[in-house]
Amino acid sequence: MYKGSLVALITPMTETGELDEDAFARFVEWQITEGTKGIIPVGTTGESPTLSHDEHKRVVEIAVKVSAGRVPVMAGAGSNSTAEAIDLTRHAKLAGADSALVVTPYYNKPTQEGLFQHYSAIANAVDLPIFIYNIPGRSVVDMSVATMARLATHKNIIGVKDATANLTRPLHTTAACGADFIQLSGEDHTALAFLAAGGHGCISVTANIAPRLCSQMHAAWNTGHIHEAMLIQSRLVALHDSMFCETSPGPVKFAASLLGFTADHCRLPMAPIAETTRAQVRAAMVATGLLN
């Protein structure tokens, strides 16, 4: 169910910064049509830190409605407050999401025991499959393989979005958590290398604007066409570079605006991206064949 190219969705907004529900619905439909195998609303790429709770929940509801069971919906439900994460996970279940993505608590810097208790409390409170989102670069805490192995014994904790960029990690995670524990990369540049190390897929930022190419790359890999997959990977490198040349989701949201899916707007404290960044994004999209 969770394999191949999945997308960490942007949240389309108007020029004045309001949630653009129609644009979001259209964007989700396009993602599915282009071959994306799973959608993840209201993660960091979806600007979850600056959405109100009502907006957050509405985005999940739209994603579930539009997807209509065609691809799994993994709803962002993380927080540095365990009670708030439980509330968001409960809503994800009520809305009909297939699973929840729960980021390691940011700013608090919990110990490994704190991480274990945080995820255990969520998994005990809501009967919904949960993916751990381990992203030390944003949350300033790294869940150890040993802690993940403890959590993997819970029936509701089924996998991880690994954004550590450590390509030995999936090898150790498989050894500790078992081959059935679903490992999804959170790093576009190393998606194929992650698969080679035992991963199952990638939750991609770049797939927001190149869903067909990302999906084709994974399909080629999964059918044994390794050379084809590597050729697509090479084609995507400059695009990956441009998506992260400034803090995400600034560049990817600008890129999506060039494709007509949203206004070029992120909520503060995300500032408008620099002109040099705009030029790099546009050039990468032209080189990749996404723009004329």
Band (pLDDT 50/70/90 cuts) for residue 238 is very high
**Share of residues in the chain with pLDDT > 70 (%):** 100
Could you give the strand order of the β-sheet that contains 38-40, starting from the edge strand earlier in sequence? Answer: 38-40, 4-8, 201-204, 182-185, 157-162, 130-134, 99-103, 74-76
Catalytic residue positions?
133, 161
What is the per-residue pLDDT across 268-279, written as a single tens digit (0 to 9) for each?
Answer: 999 999 999 999
Non-local (6+) Cβ contacts of 59 within 8 A are 11, 19, 24, 41, 42, 46, 51
CA distance 234 to 245: 18
What is the per-residue pLDDT across 107-117, written as a single tens digit (0 to 9) for each?
Answer: 999 999 999 99
The model's pTM is: 0.97
Would you list the domain boundaries of the chain? 4-225
What is the per-residue pLDDT across 137-171, written as a single tens digit (0 to 9) for each?
Answer: 999 999 999 999 999 999 999 999 999 999 999 99
pLDDT of residue 1: 84
pLDDT of residue 30: 98
CATH code that applies to domain 4-225:
3.20.20.70
